Structure 1
Amino acid sequence: MNIAVIPARGGSKRIKGKNIRAFAGQPLIGYSIRAAKQANIFDAIVVSTDAEDIGEMAISLGATDIIWRPPELADDFTGTTPVVQHAIKTYPENAEFVCCIYATAPFLSAVYLNQGLELLSQTADMQYAFSVTTFDFPVQRAIRMNGRGVSPVDYAQIGKRSQDLETLYHDAGQFYWGRRQAWLDHHPMFSPQSIPVVLPHYLVQDIDTEEDWIRAELMYKAYKEHIDHD
């Protein structure tokens, strides 16, 4: 059995009502629910929330179940893993694979959800498979503020050509497949037992501030127009 768990608490501070705010014409959480449905690999799509308006909206958009989150898991400091653990323990059936899908991932594609499950299920010694993408600038050439000037973070790398530097990746913040026990045991996500599912950079956009929201919405509209014209 496979279940998707979409964490979506109320009370977002930086973007009010973020999870159900209209993004390019539909509630933001709707994109995650739609991608999970299109993947056709989930026996249940569960939304973990503390807010009635989010729960009602999620069900109307196609989520199969709501798990009501207790107050101690609905503050600004609770991480993702305890929320997923609570959902696993609360859901009445045992799932072999659990995929945490963020509610703020409008570029999420069913193709990569399927790829993550396939990669994880074929490797018995691996615990997770999650989305990653490349940095859009060589991080080895980062600089820091130094008084009124700047200085390289790494003097040995700053003068190298981009093509001579190692390609580095970061968490894309879209989805995290995991074995049930890996979640429950709090097995570390960033470890040699996690499989990277590499996304193209243009399908990744954090939405943490109003500026992020505007940029993501513009990118999404351009992306959708491109897809529709192909």
Structure 2
Amino acid sequence: MSSHNHSFLSIIPARSGSKRLPDKNIKLLCGKPLLAWSVESALDSKYIDEVVVSTDSSVYADIAKSYGANVPFLRPESLSSDTTTTFDVLEHCIRFYKESLGKEFDYIVLLQPTSPLRQAWHIDEACEKIITKEMDSLISVCKCEHPPLWSNTLPENENMNDFIPKAVREIRSQDLPQYYRLNGTIFIAKTESLLTHKSFLTPQTIAYKMDNLYSSDIDSALDFTFAEFLASHIRDINGGGGNTQLKPKILYIPLLTPFATALSSHTSLSALDVAPAEAA
């Protein structure tokens, strides 16, 4: 429970119809259902007032409740299809709390269950930042492993002529600017702003930088396997504790960063606007 003058509702969307990795949101990660990692981090945050899981499955609901989340409704079938957008899910939850429970919150915190490695202190830092900076929304990001300037599309014949422009090739890698990408881990917005813009990305959005180690985004079996490896490593650093321990005093193995980046660089942009989201 928070002790400040702002109220935060954390919404964790967990649809049961994952196509690429069936029942992904309740698949055991280090012995704990995937969605439970996000539930526990949110509950351990000193800013989050209430944690709700939006799901269409009674099985998922029971699991979420067993870890301390609120599940005051089962999401209607109309909001559980492949075309359902993240905003649709958030709006439904916000309206339900207001109209059925008489509760309103200043901020909405979207925590996607496919990003299980975020810690409670990440959430706290992000909440504190959006308040102190007086912004309408906040989105977590992490460093790109490779500069986007080194990327391009390929023609049908796969000819790489001018794949990287000469002007770019002449720049030493250490002189290139640092690029960041969305990592899909934390999205926060003032409730009014979210309902107005139907997006977390607005002219008044600020970034929250996260280390790549905590930026895992699970979309495949390989992602899941590597996230489990990273989770075990974080747990070891924290002295055997869970995923909501204090900020580690020891830096992680440097070699982990490129792998973490490569495996999680496919982060979905669905939470930004109204595109369909499988995890939702």
TM-score, shorter chain, exceeding 0.5 = yes
Q: Is the 8 A contact 2:188 2:200 kept in 1?
A: no
In the alignment, structure 1 residue 30 sits paired with structure 2 residue 52: no
Look up the match of 1:49: 55
Q: CA 1:25–1:159 in 2, change beyond 3 Å: closer, same or farther?
A: farther
Letter of the 2:47 counterpart: I
Q: 1: distance between equivalents of 2:45 and 2:162?
A: 44
Q: CA 1:143–1:25 in 2, change beyond 3 Å: closer, same or farther?
A: same
Look up the match of 1:172: 183
In the alignment, structure 1 residue 115 sits paired with structure 2 residue 121: no
Look up the match of 1:89: 95
Q: CA 1:97–1:207 in 2, change beyond 3 Å: closer, same or farther?
A: same
Q: 1: distance between equivalents of 2:70 and 2:53?
A: 8
Q: 2: distance between equivalents of 1:110 and 1:7?
A: 18
Q: Is the 8 A contact 2:16 2:23 kept in 1?
A: yes
> Which of the numbers 169, 172, 186 marks the counterpart of 2:197?
186
Letter of the 2:14 counterpart: A
For the residue of structure 1 that corresponds to 2:149, the secondary structure is helix
CA shift, 1:23, in A, is 0.6
Greater CA deviation, 2-11 or 179-188? 179-188
> Which of the numbers 125, 130, 143 marks the counterpart of 1:134?
143
Look up the match of 2:212: 201
Superimposed CA distance per residue, residues 18-63 of structure 1 (whole angstroms, 9 cap, x where no aligned partner): 1111011110011101100111322210111111111110000110
CA shift, 1:130, in A, is 1.9
For the residue of structure 2 that corresponds to 1:53, the secondary structure is helix
CA shift, 1:159, in A, is 3.8
Greater CA deviation, 169-178 or 158-167? 158-167
Q: CA 1:122–1:49 in 2, change beyond 3 Å: closer, same or farther?
A: same
Look up the match of 1:77: 83
Which 4+ stretches in 1 moved above 4 angstroms?
151-154
Structure 1 segments unaligned to the other structure (5+ residues):
none
Greater CA deviation, 127-136 or 218-227? 218-227
Q: 2: distance between equivalents of 1:148 and 1:119?
A: 45
% same residue:
28
Q: Is the 8 A contact 1:143 1:151 kept in 2?
A: no
> Which of the numbers 198, 222, 232 marks the counterpart of 1:221?
232
Q: CA 1:118–1:9 in 2, change beyond 3 Å: closer, same or farther?
A: same
Q: Is the 8 A contact 2:114 2:219 kept in 1?
A: no
For the residue of structure 2 that corresponds to 1:224, the secondary structure is helix
Q: CA 1:159–1:78 in 2, change beyond 3 Å: closer, same or farther?
A: farther
CA shift, 1:119, in A, is 1.5
Point out which structure has higher relative CO (alpha carbons under 8 A, 6+ apart): 2
Superimposed CA distance per residue, residues 160-204 of structure 1 (whole angstroms, 9 cap, x where no aligned partner): 222211111111111211101112113542333111110011111
Q: CA 1:143–1:186 in 2, change beyond 3 Å: closer, same or farther?
A: closer
TM-score using structure 2 length: 0.76
How many residue pairs end up in the alignment? 229
Look up the match of 2:261: none
Q: CA 1:80–1:151 in 2, change beyond 3 Å: closer, same or farther?
A: farther
Look up the match of 2:24: 18
Q: Is the 8 A contact 1:142 1:158 kept in 2?
A: no
TM-score using structure 1 length: 0.92
